[in-house]
Structure 1
Amino acid sequence: MAIQLSDKPLLEWAGDTLAIALFEEAVELTGELATLDGQFAGILKEVIAEEEFTGKANSTVFTRVSGASPVKKIILVGLGKADNLKLETLRRTAAAVGKVAKKQKSKVLGLSFPLWNNDPTATVQALAEGVQLALYQDIRFKSDPEDKASQVETIEFLGFAGQEAAITKANQIVSGVILARQLVAAPANTVTPITMAETAQQIAQDHGLHLEILEQADCEKLGMGAFLGVAQASDLPPKFIHLTYKPEGTPKRKLGIIGKGLTFDSGGLNIKGAGSGIETMKIDMGGAAATLGAAKAIAQLKPDAEVHFISAVTENMISGHAMHPGDILTASNGKTIEVNNTDAEGRLTLADALVFADKLGLDAIVDLATLTGACVIALGDDIAGLYSPDDALAKQLEQASATSGEKIWRMPMEDKYFEGLKSGIADMKNTGPRPGGSITAALFLKQFVKDTAWAHLDIAGPVWADKDNGYNNTGATGFGVRMLVDWVLETGE
């Protein structure tokens, strides 16, 4: 699929399908749209009336154009009220158009959209992101995809001359989102600690990043007892991934992104039971997937910031070598942990990853993880929880969330709740009482960051969509990549 700019005016554009975006207060056609409607023998006004189209955000109507018109099909898409127009509205309306165009087997699609905030660059980038994310199909594991022939081949943006760089930027970001989707969607017999390391190696090779893979022996020398305690039951070796992007010259900021990398989570000896969703636990590396997706995008975008991408990758399995409930592990900062639940393993792997990152002399660290079901109960499937003791960093991430459209909500870090993690025989337990489970998980992670501004994102809800979230049918969302990229770009300027 090619995305390009068209130098043709709206009234002269010719192609398979033309998509026109309308505000709620502008469904009464005037000016250029009235002229266009005349060229189409009044079909726009007719379909608006027949379908009772009001311009509500993301609503679409479709019609065919008869006769000798240079345009064969029309899609009208609503933008909602002009005063409420956001970049995320543009992404989602472009996505809605893309899905209709695909369903109607359109080959060449033209988009006529208004400007957001008088900013053609941001407008084009948002439209290009939205339509590509909606049209992406993961057919890797299908022997005979049903709709493999019905693909949009060319998308042309009308009225945005000179914005080729915005399309390129969108393509680079989307490539990272798609990588994250592919990693999360693939089964655990395809995506393993070994293949995750190979993916990092490919990114480094393709885009000139520095890669360090710490093997089990390396992790043992660094005292990563928390990470290795989780890994010890698996037949597959753990891999500690450290990718580094460095700009030319002196970077303005040094940042770290850490992703939880459990390629499969059985729960360990506290095995996940019936109804636990164990069959979906291939998604427990969603944080690592977003980290690698962000690495791929950032390496292409080349911001003026040094960025370290880190993940302690392993499986959490069951065997005669498995850690037991009640075992005590020692993390690489010397803190001891009583394991009262082997199914709270992600925070153990993150503990050693955070200690590692904290020693790199970074300005800020963000970790993201499919960490707790408690966060899903609190915020639902669409919103990630943000935890940070650093107000400035939290505000940066909230701004990146607003720009990317990936929703987060800052949650409290109530220090009193750490009482629930105290152990009689170790420094702490790895889980506390059920109430406030997402908060105590964040407080646990806080113990492994000493000198660096830090934030934790619990993405257990939005990493996967059981229903169409507007960008894809169902499945892996690639959540976090666009937000992380925006954060790095903003803080690297």
Structure 2
Amino acid sequence: MTFIARDVTDAATAASQCAILPLFQDTKLAGAALKLDKASSGSIKAALALGDFSAKSGESLMLPGTNAAKRILLIGCGDAKTFDREAARKFSRTLYHALLNKQASEAMLHLAGLGLKENEAKWMLTYLARHLTAASYRYTETVSKPRAAMKLTRLVINTKGAIQSRLAASALREGNAIGLGINEAANLANLPGNICTPSYLARHARKLARSSAKLSVSVVEEKQMRALGMGALLSVSAGSEQSAKLIVMNYKGGKTADKPQVLVGKGVTFDSGGISLKPGAKMDEMKFDMGGAASVFGTMRAIAELALPLNVVGIVAAAENMPDGKATKPGDIVTSMSGKTIEVLNTDAEGRLVLCDALTYVARFKPAAVIDIATLTGACVVALGSHATGLFANEDVLAEQLLAAGTDSHDRAWRMPLWDDYQAQIKSNFADLANIGGPGGGSITAACFLSHFARDYNWAHLDIAGSGWNSAPKGATGRPVALLTRYLLDRAGQ
């Protein structure tokens, strides 16, 4: 979708297929709304007088238009005094649904009617562009008749009296890029495991790199992994015919000497549980177990779209977890790249095994900070449901930066404890660490396990087992691309 910011002097003569007017309850028509009401022979006042439209938050009404504006769409915004960011998000959702089944391919939103301060107008336009872009995503890869998408392909924002058009254009560009990143992540995670294999992800990374001169890709193959001592990652792919891949995406948008931000994604393209086989019910959803990797791809896509002046390394630890005669067994002991030995008590706790070697590997980049993202534990779903991502960190400033980015983007996280008290649960009689810590605090003990491999730098772990996909309706959410991109925009001073 194309977004354009433009100052329009006279709303009544501005040509569009649909003029969008935000209206508050119990307020007189003014500005663009008053001009369009006069141009449409009083149709807006008539709709209000008849009670066909009350301007309640979430309400919409499509009216016949004028010679210039072929349709007039009224969007209710409720009480002007209580119009906040939640109301702005609701406005965006209402706008999308009101246009979803309409034939208008172009529309103009008259923003001044909301009476927002410049800061809030900028935030709203970022969210609006992101929401419309992400909501327009349709899965098409393996269906002959995809669900119908919104016809709207071009939205013009009339910035007159609301915000400088330059700032509006920047906000729209940012929101659109984040939306494209969300769609990138959702589409990869929605692909079935027989298509989206570790090799597929490696090819996709190279394809992504071709779209940006600042992005380069290298892939560590299993032979190199053995030479590096990545016994933990290799133990996960041991039972699969699909070779593991460590995919390294290096975005160089900052100065050469600037330390990079590093994102590490769990990329288990299908998780059967291995020898510790999962129950059959909903096992198909284990194609989403590479949601962390998908979010790394989506974030790299977003920052490349924005040409962000920052150095970012995206790492994807990709493997398929399957049972066969060569598969790792419960009780086996493997040696990680760090040299620590791990007793694999449960082969379904495989995400931390692919991540621990990746976390050791990334130290070579001398990172400013490392953030890993993983659909790691069912325990996190129990603790937080689907609304919040679980956040663990070994450094308070990094944790606060991520929490702030999540709040601003409404892709929220909640900080969980990473206390030493929990470390006793992952002790082993036969190795340095056990890969599970018992039934209590499962998401915490998983994070404690990962913390052993991230002691040389500032590190955060995002558990998206609850937020990464929905079961009804089934599909990936593209989270936490918005959080990560906002975090990186903040680090770049944007």
TM-score by length of 2: 0.91
Distance of 2:47 and 2:277 partners within structure 1: 56
Alignment of 1:297-316 (within 5 A): 297-316=302-321
Q: Deviations over 1:247-299 (max 9, x none)?
A: 25345442110011000000111111133x21111110000011011112212
- Asked whether 1:65 is paired with 2:64, we answer yes
Match of residue 210, structure 1, among 201, 216, 221: 216
- Residue 65 and residue 466 in structure 1: after superposition, are their counterparts in 2 closer, same or farther (change >3 A)? farther
TM-superposed CA distance for 1:63, in Å, is 2.7
| Aligned residue in 1 for 2:378 | 373
Is the Cα–Cα contact under 8 Å of residues 384 and 461 in structure 1 kept in the other structure? yes
* Partner-residue secondary structure (3-state), 2:319: strand
Mapped contact 1:85–1:116 kept (Cα < 8 A): no
Distance 1:408 1:14 in 2: 43
CA, structure 1 residues 289+115, in 2 after alignment: closer, same or farther (shift >3 Å)?
Answer: farther
Which residue matches 1:416? 421
Match of 2:27 in 1: 28
Q: CA RMSD in A?
A: 2.3
- Native 8 Å contact 1:19 1:109 kept in 2: yes
Cross-structure match for 2:92: 94
* Aligned twin of 2:109: 111
- 1:238-257 → structure 2 map (5 Å cutoff): 238-250=244-256, 252-257=258-263
What's the CA shift for 1:91? Answer: 4.5
Does the CA contact (< 8 Å) of 1:17 and 1:75 recur in 2?
no
Quick one: distance in 1 between partners of 2:448 and 2:79?
A: 41
Question: Are 1:291 and 2:296 matched, yes or no?
Answer: yes
Amino acid corresponding to residue 88 of structure 2 in structure 1? L
Name 1:74's counterpart in structure 2: 73
The amino acid that maps onto 2:481 is V
Which ranges in structure 2 are unaligned for 5 or more consecutive residues?
none
In the TM superposition, residue 46 of structure 1 has moved relative to its aligned partner by 4.8
Amino acid at match of 1:133: A
Q: How much has 1:433 moved relative to structure 2? A: 1.6
Is residue 2:200 matched to residue 1:198?
no
Contact 1:184–1:476, Cα closer than 8 Å, also in 2 = yes
Q: Structure 1's 115 and 260: CA in aligned 2 closer, same or farther, altered over 3 A?
A: farther
Q: Tell me if the contact between 1:464 and 1:477 (Cα under 8 Å) persists in the aligned partners.
A: yes
Report the counterpart of residue 226 of structure 1 in structure 2: 232
- Answering whether residue 283 of structure 2 is matched by residue 278 of structure 1, we say yes
TM-score by length of 1: 0.91
1:54 to partner: Cα distance: 4.8
**What is the aligned counterpart of 1:262 among 264, 268, 279?**
268
Instruction: Tell me how far apart the structure 2 counterparts of residues 274 and 45 of structure 1 sit (CA, whole Å).
Output: 59
Where 2:287 maps in the other structure, the secondary structure is helix
Equivalents in 2 of 1:75, 1:269: separation in Å?
58
Deviation, structure 1 residue 300: 3.1
SS at match of 2:263: strand
Distance in 2 (CA, whole Å) between partners of 1:337 and 1:7 is 62
Does 73-82 or 225-234 show the bigger shift? 73-82
Alignment of 1:161-180 (within 5 A): 161-162=165-166, 163-180=168-185
- Using the TM superposition, give the Cα deviation of residue 158 of structure 1 relative to its aligned residue in structure 2, in angstroms: 1.5
Residue number among 336, 358, 367 corresponding to 1:353 in the alignment: 358
Q: Following the alignment from structure 2 to structure 1, what is the Cα–Cα distance between the partners of residues 340 and 459?
A: 19
In the alignment, structure 1 residue 456 sits paired with structure 2 residue 461: yes
For the 8 Å contact 2:331–2:343, the answer to whether it is kept is yes
Rounded to whole Å, the distance in 2 between the matches of 1:191 and 1:383 is: 26
Q: Closer, same or farther in 2 for the Cα pair 1:238/1:210, shift >3 Å? A: same
1:372-431: CA deviations, max 9, x gaps? 111111111121011112110001101111221101111111321221111111112111
Cα deviation, residue 436, structure 1: 0.9
Q: Verify: 1:435 aligned to 2:435, yes or no.
A: no
Q: Partners in 1 of 2:373 and 2:486 — Cα distance? A: 15
- 1:112 maps to amino acid: H
Instruction: Show structure 1 runs of 5+ residues with no match.
Output: 469-473
Task: Verify the 8 A CA contact 1:367 1:456 in the aligned structure 2.
Answer: yes
Post-superposition Cα deviations, 1:137-195, rounded to whole Å, max 9, x if no partner, equal 222322133536x6213212122533333333333332222111110111111111001
| Residue 153 (1) aligns with residue 153 (2) | yes
The superposition leaves residues 205-233 of structure 1 with CA deviations (integer Å, 9 ceiling, x where unpaired) of 22121222000011111111110000111
Instruction: Determine what percentage of the aligned residue pairs are the same residue.
Output: 33
Distance 1:74 1:349, change over 3 A: same
* Contact 1:40/1:69, CA 8 A, preserved across alignment: no
Q: 1:50 to 1:386 in 2, by over 3 A?
A: same
- Residue 471 of structure 1 is matched in structure 2 by none
* C-alpha separation in 2, matches of 1:42 and 1:79: 22
Q: Which segment drifts farther, 305-314 or 292-301?
A: 292-301
- How far apart, in 2, do the equivalents of 1:250 and 1:359 lie? 15
